[in-house]
Every structure is written in C-alpha cells, then in structure tokens.
Chain A
Amino acid sequence: MNSFFGFAVTFATLCVGTAMALASVRLFRGPSAQDRALAFDMLYIDGMLILLLQAIRTGLSVYFDMALLIALFGFVGTFALARFLLRREVIEP
C-alpha cells in the first residue's frame, strides 16, 4: 500500500513538471502579451503544486507555508499584469 502511495506522489510530481514545461513553451512562444500572462498564471500554480507535493512527501509543514505565500503573491502578480494590459497603468492616480 505504501509503495502505491509513493508511486502516486512521484507520478503527480512528474505530471506537474510536464505541465510546467508545456506552460513555459507557451510563455516563450505566446503570440500576444495576454498569452504570456496566462502562461505565467499557470506556471505559478504549478510551482505551488510542486511545493505541496514536497510537503506530502517529506511531511514538513514549511513547504505548506511557502505554497501559501506563492498562491498569495502569484495572484498579485497576475492581477497587476492584467491590470497593466487593460489600462496601461497598475494603480490609477
């Protein structure tokens, strides 16, 4: 049973790594700026997932705090990018 769980954690980590690679291809290739912002959004969510999988694998709660911080600041980054694309300035005077 335990080897099944280890296989599941490794499989999920490999899947998320593949998703990060595909999202980086879209990030470099994206024809428009909003494509790149979308790929960046996907990329930070995948990085957060890898940290969560490390938290499951090792049992340390430090990884969980890092995942929470990445979720927090990644949203701020995506929102600022989208806001800039929409209005040409992030904070309106």
Chain B
Amino acid sequence: MTDPVLPAWAVLPAGILLILGGLIVVTAAIGLLRMPSFFARMHPPTMGATLGTGCVLVASMLVSSAVAGHPVVHELLITLFLVMTTPVSAMTLMAAAIARTRPKA
C-alpha cells in the first residue's frame, strides 16, 4: 500500500476524485451498453471516459506530488494526449458510421 505519511491535503481530494472518476467511467460503460442506436452510443464513451480519465489523472498528480515532495506533472502528458486524440478518433468513427449507414442511391 502507499506510504502512511501522505498528508491530508493530498489524500482527501484525491480519494474523492478517484471515487468520482470510477462512477463516471462505469456510467459511460452502462450508457455504451444500453443506448438504442449507434449515434446515441457514440456520446457516453467519448465524454464519460475523457472526464473519468481526467479525474483519475488529477488524483494521480496529487498523490505523486505528495509522495515526491515537489510538484510532479508527468500526468499532463497523458491528459494532453487524450484531450487531443479522443475527438479525432470519435469524429473519424462517426464519419465512418455515416458513410456506412447512408442508403446507396
């Protein structure tokens, strides 16, 4: 387990952010499973997974900063990368779905 010397200013918000992130991710998965059509199913994973990942990454940043004793911003790499790439893959998938479901005329 983690060090027992973690200060409360890091542990309390990190724990709350972790619980929130887990709930958001599981909500996105339920939406992915239960929405009626593909275009409705597109929404929950993109928004939910991005927000849940953001919560977990901020919590990880807080904890590793508290462990190291100075601000650690490695996690910003993953955040930046996900924020840049998730809309691109979502838009490409959406264009593919539109092209595949359009009636041949």
Contacts and interface: CB of A to CB of B under 8 A. Distances in A.
B25 A15 contact: yes
Interface residues of A, number: 54
B89 A78 contact: yes
Interface in B7-60: 8, 11-12, 14-16, 18-19, 21-23, 25-26, 28-30, 32-33, 38, 41-42, 45, 49, 52-53, 56-57, 59-60
Nearest to B93: A82
A26 B28 CA distance: 12
A75 B32 contact: no
Contacts of B93: 34, 37-38, 41, 78, 82, 85
Contact of B28 (A42, A52, A83): A42
Interface of B: 1-4, 6, 8, 11-12, 14-16, 18-19, 21-23, 25-26, 28-30, 32-33, 38, 41-42, 45, 49, 52-53, 56-57, 59-60, 63-64, 67, 74-75, 77-78, 81-82, 85, 88-89, 92-93, 95-97, 99-100
